[in-house]
Amino acid sequence: MTTTETNNPQRKIQLPLLSLASVSKSYPSGNGNRMVLNNVSIEIPTGETLAIVGPSGSGKTTLLNIIATLDKPDSGSIFFESTDLLKFNTQDLAHFRNRRIGMIFQLHHLLPQCTLWENVLIPTLPTNTNHQEAEKRAEKLLKRTGIWEYRHQKPSELSGGECQRAAVVRALVNKPSLILADEPTGALDHHNALNLIDLLLELNKEMGTALVVVTHSIELARKMNKIYELNDGILTNKNL
């Protein structure tokens, strides 16, 4: 976790990994603008696990996209440690996102023409990382998630749970500080869904990567350290 100095040299202030302050977002609708996020504020400490729940259309995916720097708010501020993300241009944001944020979606989005091994290494291609080290890391993660033996197979030859585990490896291969998961178990049966969440929580503890999960499942949400509810654009901490 990043720290900043205060006037007292014996004391340092710990910064959250990510902080959103008074973030609002609206979209055009037939009767003007529809407010999707209304003055949303949240802090995510390093290594935190939290769930965002709420009804369909409440703005959960919009909030996740803003956290992921895939979308920008109409107003408010977004800081990653001490960095003001709203000052980044498109190219800087793409580089930042690739190195610091991993994303997992309801559908795995693996490239059907590529093997599992090729798919999980795709995020390393635009970086200046040591590719030999990246391959060692991918191998370790594939073994850790139990799908190493399938590395030469294509997505069509794998089960839904195996493909989603590959998506987890792809999200982690660049050692991000933050994992964002948008309904990651939505396409899985109950057994595979619980296995995937348990895996994400185990990797969270092992790697210290913060985890934010958007979900409709209260059972899944209760496995996180904190639960937030988004309703009519208002974000509420349900742990208070």
pLDDT of residue 21 exceeding 70, the answer is yes
- Per-residue pLDDT band for 240 (boundaries 50, 70, 90) equals low
Residue 104 neighbours by CB under 8 Å, 6+ apart = 164, 167, 168, 171, 179, 180, 181, 182, 184
Query: What is the arithmetic mean of pLDDT over 169-185?
Result: 92
Task: Please give the pLDDT value at position 192.
Answer: 86
Q: Which of 13, 72, 20, 71 is nearest to 43 (CA)?
A: 20
Residue 94 neighbours by CB under 8 Å, 6+ apart = none
DSSP code string of 81-110: TTEEGGG--HHHHHHHHHHHEEEE-SS---
Q: Which residue has the tokens 């396409």?
A: 187
Query: What is the arithmetic mean of pLDDT over 178-204?
Result: 89
pLDDT of residue 9 exceeding 60, the answer is no
Q: Which of 219, 188, 164 is nearest to 51 (CA)?
A: 219
pLDDT of residue 210 exceeding 80, the answer is yes
Domains of the chain and any CATH numbers:
47-72+95-237 (3.40.50.300)
Query: What is the arithmetic mean of pLDDT over 56-82?
Result: 92
Under DSSP, is residue 229 helix (H, G, I), strand (E, B) or coil?
Answer: strand
Task: Pick 11 or 66 by higher pLDDT.
Answer: 66
Residue 219 neighbours by CB under 8 Å, 6+ apart = none
Ranges 18-22, 124-128, 228-232: which has the least confidence: 124-128
Q: Which of 58, 125, 137 is nearest to 94 (CA)?
A: 125
- Per-residue pLDDT band for 7 (boundaries 50, 70, 90) equals low
Task: Please give the pLDDT value at position 127.
Answer: 64
Query: CA angle 154-155-159, nearest 5°?
Result: 125
Asked if 116 and 155 count as a contact pair (C-beta separation under 8 A), the reply is yes
Average predicted confidence (pLDDT) for the chain: 89
Task: Please give the pLDDT value at position 131.
Answer: 78
pLDDT of residue 141 exceeding 80, the answer is yes
End-to-end CA distance of the chain: 24
Asked if 69 and 93 count as a contact pair (C-beta separation under 8 A), the reply is yes
pLDDT of residue 205 exceeding 80, the answer is yes
Asked if 184 and 216 count as a contact pair (C-beta separation under 8 A), the reply is no
Neighbouring C-beta atoms of residue 25, cutoff 10 Å? 23
Bridge partners, residue 3, by sequence: 14
pLDDT of residue 129 exceeding 70, the answer is no
Percent of the chain with pLDDT over 70: 92
